[in-house]
Structure 1
Amino acid sequence: MDAVVKTFPARSAGNSPIERPSREEAEAAVRTLIRWAGDDPSREGLLETPKRVAKAYEELFSGYRKDASEALSKIFRDVEGYDDLVLVKDIPFHSHCEHHMVPFAGVAHIAYYPEGGVVGLSKLARVVDIFARRLQTQETMTAEIVQAIDAALNPRGIAVLIEAEHMCMTMRGIQKPGASTTTCQFTGVFRDDPSEQVRFFTMLNRVRG
């Protein structure tokens, strides 16, 4: 039983740690939502649902308990002088919209020009996962990935492109299934030289083909 109040890092109005409720409080909140939706949390099919939801949330929002800087802390300096583009494409992710708390899912593409070192390719995927497993907007997630890579590697340039489908557009509201949202952000040589952006998109499409 989780009766201890804990804190975890998050974006907050005062930039202070958020007080984490107990497991019992979280389960009680789920029961309240079930009643608000119009069902009976004490019926057999829903009796264990609050526990399952709390456990699922620990996994779905595990990014709050992880640090992207730790994932990127191991830098390989001996790369035989390689300083050209590194591209990792089609990194799958799923996240939750911070406005409606419904899922959005898609793929992220990350490229950078090394400046004295590289990180393991799996670490880039891990960074995507860390930020995705928080309440998010796609725009903020894109910027957070760029900022984390820039702080750890200080590369000559970073390109991040994210493509996703948002259930808040397909399940509710306007209800337009299949609509895709694309966000991208460039730093360094990618931002300063449009030809580098062209190269990024060309390589991305070439690899896809």
Structure 2
Amino acid sequence: MKEHDLNYSTEDNEKGYEKIERYNPLKIERIASHYAEILADLGEDPTREGLLKTPERVAKSLQFLTHGYDIKPEEILRSAMFKEEYSQMVVVKDIEVYSMCEHHLLPFFGKAHIAYIPNGHIVGLSKIPRVVEAYSRRLQVQERLTNEIRDCIQKTLAPLGVAVVIECRHLCMSMRGIQKQNSVTTTSAFTGAFANERTRSEFLKLITASLD
């Protein structure tokens, strides 16, 4: 059975790239059936009014939260690459990150700060947050997420260097487990010119600077 669009929204239709929310009815049905059993195992009555549609809602929610599996981040970048003789640092900071911890299926969220130094090509600025979105909307660990974003930009644009810093709060740490409410996890990944301490320090200075 083909995948049908039960819910459809488009943000961009630029050079063949568009963002779509898709819900596969067969997957929705299978996931929902499991969640009805889970609710019963938790001691709830999945047939009571407040929970009747919960399994379906959860199934749709999970499909949306993991829709990054259906996106090819390299294609996002290639859809807006331009030849340009600009060789200074390009920084996009404070990109919102929402992802799901693959260990507990609980959210982690925060911000990503990304820079690259062009080497003949630049990319449309909106495409960098879209790459973050593509990888974060999967079951993840923050360390892998950081590396995947770095590697995608490096491989596709072939810049002189890439820098990625991600800062997130993890609900698996604040809601359960150690239950530390204010802890923030920071990960970083660098390539090329950012291995140089001076370049890396410039990047870190830029992402902590205020425009006020």
> TM-score scaled by structure 1?
0.87
Count, aligned residues: 191
> Map of 1:11-160 to 2, 5 A cutoff?
22-73=27-78, 74-77=80-83, 79=84, 81-160=85-164
Partner Cα distance (2:211, 2:145) in 1: 23
Q: Is the 8 A contact 1:4 1:22 kept in 2?
A: no
Give, in angstroms, the shift of residue 32 of structure 1.
1.4
Unaligned 5+ residue runs, structure 2?
Answer: 4-25
Q: Moved runs in structure 1, 4+ residues, more than 3 A?
A: none
Paired letter, 2:168: A
Unaligned 5+ residue runs, structure 1?
Answer: 6-20
1:202 is matched with which residue: 194, 202, 205? 205
2:126 is paired with a residue of what secondary structure? helix
Partner Cα distance (1:42, 1:129) in 2: 35
Over residues 77-105 of structure 1, what are the superposed CA-to-partner deviations in whole Å (9 max), with x where a residue is unaligned?
A: 1x3x3110000000001100000000000
Give, in angstroms, the shift of residue 4 of structure 1.
6.0
With 88-97 and 36-45 compared, the bigger mean Cα shift is at: 36-45
Partner Cα distance (1:45, 1:93) in 2: 31
Partner Cα distance (2:28, 2:95) in 1: 32
Aligned-pair RMSD on alpha carbons? Answer: 1.8
Q: Is the 8 A contact 2:86 2:119 kept in 1?
A: no
Give, in angstroms, the shift of residue 195 of structure 1.
1.0
1:91 is paired with a residue of what secondary structure? strand
Give, in angstroms, the shift of residue 145 of structure 1.
0.1
Give, in angstroms, the shift of residue 208 of structure 1.
5.9
1:22 is paired with a residue of what secondary structure? helix
Partner Cα distance (1:25, 1:94) in 2: 25
With 154-163 and 58-67 compared, the bigger mean Cα shift is at: 58-67
Give, in angstroms, the shift of residue 197 of structure 1.
1.0
Give, in angstroms, the shift of residue 207 of structure 1.
3.9
> TM-score scaled by structure 2?
0.86
Partner Cα distance (2:54, 2:211) in 1: 41
**Distance change (3 Å), C-alpha of 1:152 and 1:207:** farther
Give, in angstroms, the shift of residue 25 of structure 1.
1.3
Partner Cα distance (1:93, 1:206) in 2: 20
